[in-house]
Amino acid sequence: MCGIVGVTGNPNAVEILLNGLEQLEYRGYDSAGIYVNDQKGDDYLVKEKGRIADLRAEVSADVHGSTGIGHTRWATHGVPSKENAHPHVSNDKRFYLVHNGGIGNFTELKETYLQDVTLVSETDTEVIVQLVAKFAREGLSTKEAFKKVLGLVDESSSYAFLLLDREDPDTLYVAKNKSPLLIGVGDGFNVVCSDDLAMLKETHDFIELVDGEIVILKPTSITIEDPAGQVVDRKPFHVDTDPAQAQKGAYPFYMLKEIDEQPGVMRNLIKEYIAEDGSIKIDADLLKAMADSDRIYIVAAGTSYHAGLVGKELFEKLIQVPTEVHVASEFAYNPPLLSAKPFFIFLSQSGETADSRQVLTQVNQAGYPSLTITNVMNSTLSREATYTLLLYAGPEIAVASTKAYTGQIALEAILAKALGVYKQIATIKDFDVAAELTKAANGMQELVDEKGKIEKIAADMLKDTRNAFYIGRTMDYAIVQEAALKLKEVSYIQTEGFASGELKHGTIALIQENTPVVAIITDKKTANHTRSNAQEVKARGANVLYIVSRDLATPTDQIVLPEITPLLSALVAIVPTQLLAYYASIQRGYDVDKPRNLAKSVTVE
């Protein structure tokens, strides 16, 4: 989704903004822009549809300044275009604004206050900057005008705003509600960003902001005010991430790098959560809160939701805790009847997904305990849940999630083990989670080492097809849903992940000569059933690929999975499907890291 950067007090502002926007490219965008002021009264507003490279090409050598704001836009209100790109500027050319999020009542605000103002874009953001200018013209100071506008924005809105007044050009006015935003503390200068990765070259010390606060940011001062106007004192937190971790290195694409990093993610999780003696290093308060509950509700979106489906199996099969998994955007507006003592787990790589946050807000209002499992320290979902467990997967840059999915499953397994021990479930001692995750790491390594084979299968099966199917039963049904999402989102092949027993109830009508069908078989109970279903589609012309656990494999199965406990088969079975998606995308000529229409962190509902 949209990205925001800002800087005040650094003569290198143009490069800091452009570099920051480049670091945010992975989040998905369709246009970008920067505004800088050179303090001598000269303004530079440069916007471009397309890539940051196009914007960079437009920025001539005479564009310079020490304060500025920048933005990558993922279109919501109005098509991707230069006019709709941010920063937006008031008609009197005094105020410049960038915005992440959406203003629910912008049409009403426009009709009520701006009847006499001609707007040049279709965006909700322009309404905000024109309103600030109007109230300033009526005599309010910039801060008062900004606060007045924030007060007019309705409840449904979300925003991260950076406002610059060219009459006071080294001051940035910053505000946020629901959309992520951080202040970065520099030496003699300060920065703002929607994602710390954007500013790691400038600083590793960041201050989080809370909804409703506004910040007056100057080169050597940071004043945070709460909604009542009281000054808030908040210390920065330190981010250890090495900016190099967020680079591709020798890899052609982040997605391939991140697929390859999965064995390392398993080992990191073992190191962070499992002691030498096998005991699990998870806060006893968290385990007590879970043990006191009568049902776990896992809430998530997309790939994280699919990791939740595997989590349900782990919590129910290993420790007999009833568990439901819900799509966040559905739960928020159509919640199920809850049990008497629910415990909520939010799975979110980014920790910023608006749909999940909407549910967490309701959960907090109801006073229920919650845990966020996330890859991003101090992210919104992490700050707002009762407990947090981190994935330690390193930055995930490719839009399509890979290592976060396997990391989430591994951490769910560690949590299930810890809870089983806490609840003294006798059978949990048979589940040696460190040994299983080590097996997973080794198995993943075996599979990523077989890339050439999978690249060839992708070329044979997927290069020219219009559609494809993944099929499986029980745990394999959970896995095929993720495998199908991965393939469709990066290759644009219309792909369905299907419970193979359901095929005959309608979907088999879509099978034609050469339709690709991938059968995943890791569950002994249903292996023969899935094989029969695969035979049925084969008899109707399908081109079938079998991905099968070693103990269930036959000599003709094309991909045989290394051994692992069936409850964790997703950790290895998903790897060849991630590689199939990656190669299908490349072979069809797409930018696999930035699939069309998608954003890395979905911060609007």
Q: Which active-site residues does the annotation give?
A: 2, 600
Strands (E), 63-156: 67-73, 88-89, 95-102
Total site size for ligand F6R, rule CB under 6 A:
15
Q: Does 578 bind ligand F6R (CB under 6 A)?
A: no
Give the residue with the Cβ less far from ligand F6R, 162 or 298: 298
- Choose one: 99-107, 298-306, 501-509, 517-525; the region binding ligand F6R (CB under 6 A): 298-306
Record the tokens describing residue 328, joined without a space.
Answer: 């966040």
Sketch the per residue contact string, 256 through 295, with ligand F6R: x for CB under 6 A, - otherwise: ----------------------------------------
Give the residue with the Cβ less far from ligand F6R, 356 or 388: 356
Q: Does 350 bind ligand F6R (CB under 6 A)?
A: yes
Record the tokens describing residue 78, joined without a space.
Answer: 């109005």
CA distance 444 to 573: 9
CA distance 89 to 95: 6
Q: Does 602 bind ligand F6R (CB under 6 A)?
A: yes
Give the residue with the Cβ less far from ligand F6R, 412 or 489: 489
Q: Does 301 bind ligand F6R (CB under 6 A)?
A: yes
Helices (H) and strands (E) in the chain, counts: 18, 25
- Choose one: 205-213, 347-355, 414-422, 429-437; the region binding ligand F6R (CB under 6 A): 347-355
- Choose one: 63-71, 72-80, 349-357, 465-473; the region binding ligand F6R (CB under 6 A): 349-357
Check: CB of residue 404 under 8 Å from CB of residue 396.
yes
CA distance 546 to 553: 9
DSSP states along 423-441: TT-GGGGG--HHHHHHHHH
Give the residue with the Cβ less far from ligand F6R, 37 or 408: 408
* Least distance to ligand F6R, CB of residue 489, Å: 6
Which positions ≥6 away from 412 have C-beta within 8 Å?
307, 310, 311, 314, 315, 373
CA distance 313 to 376: 25
Sketch the per residue contact string, 433 through 472, with ligand F6R: x for CB under 6 A, - otherwise: ----------------------------------------
Give the residue with the Cβ less far from ligand F6R, 400 or 560: 400
Q: Does an H or E element contain 416, and which?
A: helix 403-422
What is the maximal distance between C-alpha atoms in the chain?
81
Q: Does 197 bind ligand F6R (CB under 6 A)?
A: no
Give the residue with the Cβ less far from ligand F6R, 113 or 251: 251
Residue list 389-418, contact with ligand F6R (CB under 6 A): 400-401
Out of 303, 380, 578, 603, the residue judged to bind ligand F6R by CB under 6 A = 303
DSSP states along 363-385: HHHHT--EEEEESSTT-HHHHHS
* Least distance to ligand F6R, CB of residue 455, Å: 20
* Least distance to ligand F6R, CB of residue 436, Å: 23
How many Cα atoms sit within 13 Å of 89 on the Cβ side? 18
Give the residue with the Cβ less far from ligand F6R, 171 or 348: 348
Q: Does 348 bind ligand F6R (CB under 6 A)?
A: yes
Give the residue with the Cβ less far from ligand F6R, 84 or 349: 349
Residue nearest to ligand F6R (CB): 302
* Least distance to ligand F6R, CB of residue 347, Å: 7
Residue 323 in 3-state DSSP?
strand
Q: Please name the residue ranges forming H helices in 320-370.
A: 328-331, 354-366
- Choose one: 158-166, 190-198, 272-280, 350-358; the region binding ligand F6R (CB under 6 A): 350-358
Please state whether 299 falls in left (phi above 0), alpha (psi between -120 and 50) or beta: beta
Give the residue with the Cβ less far from ligand F6R, 171 or 349: 349
Q: Does 304 bind ligand F6R (CB under 6 A)?
A: yes
Neighbouring C-beta atoms of residue 568, cutoff 10 Å: 26
CA distance 538 to 527: 16
CA distance 118 to 130: 9
- Choose one: 215-223, 302-310, 312-320, 511-519; the region binding ligand F6R (CB under 6 A): 302-310
Burial class (CB in 10 A: 0-12, 13-18, 19+), 175: buried
Q: Does 593 bind ligand F6R (CB under 6 A)?
A: no
Neighbouring C-beta atoms of residue 210, cutoff 10 Å: 15
How does DSSP classify residue 493? -
Sketch the per residue contact string, 475 through 514, with ligand F6R: x for CB under 6 A, - otherwise: ----------x---x-------------------------
Q: Does 575 bind ligand F6R (CB under 6 A)?
A: no
Out of 353, 380, 406, 491, the residue judged to bind ligand F6R by CB under 6 A = 353
Residues forming contacts to ligand F6R in the complex (CB under 6 A) are 301-304, 348-350, 353, 356, 400-401, 485, 489, 601-602
